[in-house]
Chain A
Amino acid sequence: MRLKVPGILVAIFAVLGAAAPAFAHHGFAVEFDGSKCLNLTGTLTSIDWENPHAYFHMDVKNAQGKVEPWSLEMITPNALKRNGTSRQDFLGNIGKPISARACPTKAGGTQYRGSAEFLELPDGQIRIVGQLVEKISPDQFHF
């Protein structure tokens, strides 16, 4: 699918995400940098369908041609399912191109790890899979 924003070029949609609310067990702002969210385009390589967070992994080729293996955190599988995204949606697309909007860890955290906000699988549908730290208006949900 032709993407509007190639590679991992940063596309700042909305600025100044609200102070991230804290779950009882963790807080977005503690681990991730909501000011450095970026678009990732690459190949879906695997998923971890587990609690408290599901993860998907994608290989992203950076501007220098090096492949970066990203691990992106999502919400609990139960919430994904109830929002219309199943494990099969991922498994059926292993090895295929996907795009994700994600916010990386803060300095000191694991490299190429982030919290995904939304993604697009080859079916072209947008799926919210994590907390929307950026205030994204309806017309900005695309790649």
Chain B
Amino acid sequence: MRQDKQPFCYSAISAAALIAALCVASSSAFAQGNRIPTPKSPDDSCTGYGECGKAPKNIVGGFENIHALPPGGPAPRMSDGHVDLTGRWYPDAAGRMLQVAYPLDPTSFQQFDPKKTPEAAPVFKPGMEAKYKRPVPYGDCDQAGTPSTTLEQLSQHAPMELIATPQRLVMLYEYPMDVRMVYFNRPHPKDPDPTFNGDTTARWEGDTLVLDVIAIDERMRNFGGGGYGSWYHSDQQRITERITRTSKNYLTYQITIEDPVVLAQPWKSAPRIWTVAQDPHDEWGEVFCTLNQEPEEYNKIKAHEAQQKGK
């Protein structure tokens, strides 16, 4: 268990640049929970950039075909009668990867409508924000753990693949590349080992699978594209994940974070939608974030800026 609660992001440049030098608050422009590029809302007139419904000519990507999927019929069921969560799920309404896709239909890019189901900032207990809130270090692409791996797909646009049987749920994430093995009918051990993804139990409440997660390694931050930055947690943190397949094409995933040491009240995500991959030729991809030049570039630029300021 990590003993040192000091932030990782110390800079050799200057104390004044401490916060800015190596640390950038994640998702600063995602206050409304939208994807990038930020498409116009359905209320805006469709002119100029992302001219709704008009794809650039001669462009690869099939962007003119992007649209919010219909429900597609009832959710399939497993042999035990529960909904089958199996599928490759994309964090949008279009059933495909939308990273740098040309924005035509704004609604298809969203996991939720922030006007209808806004996500509030976390409310910290007195003194806890200063102690636990820390931005994600610049260029960090390490494992994100539970629940951030799921929450941050709002900006990462990567798929999550679920393989469900009556005995277990296998959760695969493409970025950061990760595996969670969830066994049904298995209670928490008395003193579970802390892990990045935590110790998970599962139970069905009707058609909703409820995951209860404890013992998440305290090196994991909580963040996820809502514009509220990131924070560390105590060993008393408990995550509740509620997953249901509302139709053939749609999954709803809602996450609650409780931490009686750090938070004054539970933090709740909006129910975020995911849609099943539509391309029958779509394949799972490997993403090991190993060749990352950003921290080096960042340090060069910041050193240059500090040098200019010193003149």
Chain A residues at the B interface, C-beta cutoff of 8 Å: 14, 18-27, 30-31, 48, 50-53, 75-79, 81-85, 105-110, 113, 124-132, 135-142
Chain B residues at the A interface, C-beta cutoff of 8 Å: 24-30, 36-38, 48-51, 54-62, 96-97, 99-102, 136, 138-141, 144, 148, 152, 155-158, 174-175, 223, 225, 279, 282, 285-294, 297-298, 300-305, 307-308
In the complex, A129 Cα to B287 Cα: how many Å? 17
Identity of the chain B residue whose Cβ is nearest the Cβ of A18 in the assembled complex: B38
B29 surroundings in chain A (CB, below 8 A): 18-22
**Beyond A108-B300, A109-B300: 9 further Cβ-contacts under 8 Å?**
A24-B155, A31-B297, A52-B287, A53-B291, A82-B282, A83-B99, A84-B60, A108-B307, A126-B56
B141 surroundings in chain A (CB, below 8 A): 24-25, 52
Q: B139 contacts A106, CB within 8 Å?
A: no
* Cβ-Cβ contact count across A and B, 8 Å cutoff: 180
| Given A84-B61, A108-B301, A138-B54: A128 in contact with B100 (beta carbons within 8 A) | yes
Q: A141 contacts B62, CB within 8 Å?
A: no
Q: Which of B61, B138, B139, B285 contacts A83 (CB 8 A)?
A: B61
In the complex, A27 Cα to B298 Cα: how many Å? 10
Q: A126 contacts B37, CB within 8 Å?
A: no
Q: Which of A26, A82, A105 contacts B96 (CB 8 A)?
A: A82
Identity of the chain B residue whose Cβ is nearest the Cβ of A118 in the assembled complex: B59
CB distance from A133 to the nearest CB of B (A): 9
A24 surroundings in chain B (CB, below 8 A): 26-27, 136, 140-141, 144, 148, 152, 155-156, 223, 225
Q: A127 contacts B60, CB within 8 Å?
A: yes
Q: B156 contacts A108, CB within 8 Å?
A: no
In the complex, A132 Cα to B48 Cα: how many Å? 14
Q: Which of A20, A81, A138 contacts B56 (CB 8 A)?
A: A138
Listed by A's residue number, 10 A-B pairs whose Cβ atoms lie within 8 Å are A21-B27, A24-B155, A24-B156, A30-B298, A51-B291, A76-B99, A78-B158, A82-B279, A84-B62, A141-B58
Q: A127 contacts B291, CB within 8 Å?
A: no
